[in-house]
Amino acid sequence: MKITCKRGKNVTVEDRVLVLKMVKACMTELNKPKHEIGFAKQKSFWKPLHVVIKKKSQCSYAYEDESISIDVAEYHRGGRWLNEYAAYRSDPVIGERKQAATPESVLFAIVAHEVAHHVQHAYGPYTRMYKSSCKKPHGDAFQDIYRILRSTLVNEQLDAEAERIDAETFKEIEIAYKTDSKLYKDIRAAFKRGEVKHDKVVLMYKKVVKSSNAYRSIT
């Protein structure tokens, strides 16, 4: 398979090696005959794939069948929360993980997500099982391809043994963060309307920073 790569100026060589290793692992798995995704006459992913690696705190995405873009900023911050779309967020296999084992495992899931999109568009129209559903962004074709990668490669790492806090404590920290964030926005708006003094905004800012740090430390 032909995979090319472009990395941002603030992306390390180590990041490039790690992301490309994950991409190749995903493509190799999906190319196995048992998944029936490769072309009937040639069981190999011969279409070129361009991988862009950035560190800008932006979304990762796939540009249909041509390229994928992976942002490693959250990985470097140590993020352990894998967020997924509402349509399948609660799915036990391809759903979210609020406390993944490692930041690397979350990055692997993000890479798998975007590879699934690439394969959905590049190969879906030529397969018997995906040709009628491959155009929907997060529909059955995408979910099925993503499920293969999550179940065979990614979830073992996401769900590995790790230090995690109990669900009740997690919920309390999450609620505190969301409540403080909303209240801070409301107070800022009130300040702009001249309804509160600036010192109240400063105090609320300090509070939201504290709850944000607590929340980030568990996700």
Q: Is 62 helix (H, G, I), strand (E, B) or coil?
A: strand
Of 64, 173, 172, the closest CA to residue 120 belongs to: 64
Task: Using 70 as the pLDDT threshold, list the residues of the chain that sit under it.
Answer: 39-45
Strand partners, 82: 97
pLDDT of 42 reads 57
Question: Could you state, in order of their start, the residue ranges of all structural domains in the chain?
Answer: 3-158, 167-218
Dihedral-angle region of residue 194 (phi above 0 means left; psi in -120 to 50 means alpha; beta otherwise): left
Q: Which residue has the tokens 């296999």?
A: 93
Which residues make beta-bridge pairs with 5? Answer: 51
CATH (residue range 3-158): 3.40.390
Q: Buried b vs exposed e over 106-129: b needs ≥16 C-beta within 10 Å?
A: bbbbbbbbbbbbbbbbbbbeebee
3-class state of residue 131 by DSSP: coil
Nearest to 45 by CA among 107, 127, 110, 100: 127
Q: Kindly state the tokens that stand for 166.
A: 């109990």
Can you give the pLDDT at residue 66? 87
Output the pLDDT for position 198: 92
| Res 195: pLDDT | 93
CA distances from 139 to 66, 82, 104, 148, 155 (A): 19, 19, 26, 15, 20
Q: Could you tell me the pTM of the whole model?
A: 0.81
In this structure, the number of other CB atoms found within 10 A of the CB of residue 75 comes to 20
Strand partners, 152: none
pLDDT for the residue numbered 100:
93
